[in-house]
Amino acid sequence: MFETIEYEAGDGIATIRLNRPEKRNAYNTRMMNELLGAFDRSDADDDIGAVILTGSGDVFCAGADLSGGANTFAQLGDDPERAALRHGDLWRDGGGVASLRIFESLKPVVAAVNGPAIGVGATMILACDVRIASNTARFGYVFTQRGLVPEAASSWFLPRVVGLSRALEWTMGACIVPVDEALDAGLIRETCTRDDLIPRARAIAGRFLSGSPVATALTRQMMWRMAGADHPMEAHRIDSRAIAALRAAPDTLEAVAAFLEKREADFTSKVSDGVPDIWPDGAGPRFY
């Protein structure tokens, strides 16, 4: 089904693995489109409660595929697989398309960075909920050295993750950030050996499987979208709408009964058809 990624599912967890080891998992349009398809698949599968994003081999992602030579970026508009990204004379940033799809995921996402993450490899993970890394990882925000600017909506994500000053230092300085500095800055939650990385990621992802899938999906949406709110009243309005939508929902009734009866709750609501719309202004802005 996929050529540039692998998709595996089991025990409630989907693992999406960047899989171009011969190209150091370099990012191209096919990988972007397949990532969109993989997250569509995990969202639609009610047996999946969490997602792990990782890479094959000893590199997470070496950045954009530069096999086109000096004209690599200039020629992107000629790629027929990018036709859907064109809006008039403007082409959407392919890294941002993937990051925004991760942002919109209805399932929690854990990034398990198995090795160096450069360029888009270091920015696409910012939309994940938890990031862990092997002790061989490093993070390259090298855009200005390529004559480019940070992409994948990282000017929104990165300051929220590591703070504005650190984000400016790393991006304007085209820094290769060692794993210890990334840990200190909060870019990653923890480090471990490469052999322990996926078991550790699965253990973290497993924490997201115990609650109501619908409540978990809403919680993820609320936390991410309220990160850009201008005032806590915006969060209060959304909280109130969510509580109103869930207070008599089957999972809520079951959870209270299970608590009173001192047993585990059996949640039956499905993300595929049970997530209420709590957003008065719609799902979010569109690209134009």
pLDDT for the residue numbered 133: 98
Per-residue pLDDT of 101-136, as tens digits, reads: 999 999 999 999 999 999 999 999 999 999 999 999
pLDDT for the residue numbered 278: 92
Contact 117, 182 (CB under 8 A): no
Q: What is the DSSP letter of 102?
A: H
Helix axes 154-162, 164-172, angle to 10 degrees: 120
Residue 70 has pLDDT above 70, yes or no: no
**Which strands sit side by side in the sheet containing 176-178, from one edge to the other?**
117-118, 138-140, 176-178
The Cα 203–Cα 213 span in angstroms is 17
Contact 120, 95 (CB under 8 A): yes
Specify the pTM. 0.94
Mean pLDDT calculated for residue range 33-47: 97
Token couple for 110: 């854990």
To the nearest whole number, what is the mean pLDDT of the chain? Answer: 94
Residue 151 has pLDDT above 90, yes or no: yes
pLDDT for the residue numbered 232: 96
Confidence of residue 80 (pLDDT cuts 50, 70, 90): confident
- The stretches of the chain forming alpha helices (DSSP H) are 29-44, 94-103, 120-123, 154-162, 164-172, 179-185, 194-206, 213-226, 232-246, 250-260, 271-274
The Cα 272–Cα 101 span in angstroms is 16
Contact 201, 110 (CB under 8 A): yes
Contact 130, 189 (CB under 8 A): yes
Per-residue pLDDT of 168-184, as tens digits, reads: 999 999 999 999 999 99
